[in-house]
Amino acid sequence: IWKNAKNGIDNLVSKFSKKGIQETTENLISTNMLKEMAGSFKKSFEDILNFGEHRLNFAGIGDIGDDILKNIEEAKSPNGKNINNSVDKNNNNNNNNNNKANNNGAGVEITIKSSSEQELRIVDIDNQIKDFNPSKATRLQKGNYGELLTEKEMYDMGDLENIMLDDVRLKDINDKTHQGIDLIFKNNTPPPEIVIVESKYKNNGNKPRMNKNRNQNTKYKWKRQMDDKWVSKNLEDAVGKDKAEEIREILKQDIDNIDLNEKVEIGNILKMASLVNKKGDVKYFEIGREGEVLRELSKIDVEQILKN
């Protein structure tokens, strides 16, 4: 059964590869990743069922994730079909839809929403920060510790997807620091649609301080970190050109996240700063259009905002 299941997925990968699927630049799943997924299922046929949890979405040719899972379940049944034939048949049906989409000029892309990938990321973060010692850590390690811990907590507070380009994501507590935006998330329960976070590590202090721009001879003429112009300037390096343009348009249309009555008025973009101390305590602050700190947010506040 395992052999047929693996062959079935390999066959699916092969056929889609020949169709020249366009891969997205964020949340992407490549054909090689599919092969790795197939190769990672070990010991029992039950493991293959995890494949259905990835909920593959094929833009232009419909959602086949549920169909794949259905085929797998049928193969599991004593009277079920051979999974190799099931997936092959399912793939042929969707190839017809693929041709229709291409004839209509629609792009075909594969995206993945995988809770297991996020879980692995959280485990990786835990491994990176578990031995953190503030008395021995370098300034670089302290800053990275703050960013990693913030990322982990953000996943706990909302249904978020990190949409940063892979080459600018922080992967190791010893990584060299990068200039620009620390964290950008897509919120799967909007509004807000986009969450942008700047992390700060501070041994003492109750409020984060955004760095000011000492060189006004720049295209965007930003005043300080996290103001709208600074965000616009750094978006392309963080998420790529196309996504950056989308977020810039949202920034233009958005409003401040707080009104004169101090009532939270959630727009399509939420900007926050995190303040992490040596004990691992994290505070969150709402950031305004000019990069100013508007107010402190409790974790319950953040959860309510993100989950709407």
178-227 pLDDT, tens digit per residue, is 889 999 999 999 889 999 999 999 877 788 888 776 665 555 566 788 98
Q: Is 129 found in the same domain as 97? A: no
User: Position 281: which residue type?
Assistant: D
Mean pLDDT computed over 250-266: 57
My answer on whether 97 and 190 are in the same domain is: no
Quick one: 40 and 144 in the same domain?
no
12: enclosing H helix or E strand: helix 2-18
Check pLDDT > 50 for residue 7: yes
Residue 46 sits in the same domain as residue 122: no
66: nearest Cα among 53, 47, 79? 53
Which CA distances in Å does 232 have to 14, 164, 271? 40, 14, 13
Considering the domain architecture, whether residues 72 and 126 belong to the same structural domain is answered as no
Q: Which of 76, 111, 146 is the last residue of a domain?
A: 111
The last residue of one of the domains, among 78, 93, 111, is 111
Instruction: Say whether both 80 and 196 belong to one domain.
Output: no
Residues 83 and 224 in one domain: no
Q: Are residues 142 and 32 in the same domain?
A: no
139, 145, 150, 155: CA torsion to nearest 10: 160
Q: Do 107 and 176 fall into the same domain?
A: no
Q: How many domains does the chain have?
A: 2
The confidence score (pLDDT) of residue 117 equals 81
Start-to-end CA span in the chain (Å) = 44
Q: What is the pLDDT of residue 6?
A: 63
* pLDDT bucket at 19, cuts 50 / 70 / 90: very low
225 is in which domain, residue-wise? 115-307
Q: What is the pLDDT of residue 243?
A: 94
Q: How confident is the model at residue 307 (pLDDT cuts 50, 70, 90)?
A: confident
Same domain, 119 and 212: yes
If asked whether residues 77 and 198 sit together in one domain, one would say no
Give 115-148 pLDDT, tens digit per residue: 578 888 999 999 999 999 999 999 999 999 999 9
CB 293 within 8 A of CB 225: no
List Cβ neighbours of 255 (8 Å cut-off, separation of 6 or more): 265, 267
User: Considering 111, 137, 158, which residue would you say is the last residue of a domain?
Assistant: 111
Instruction: Note whether 55 and 184 are same-domain residues.
Output: no
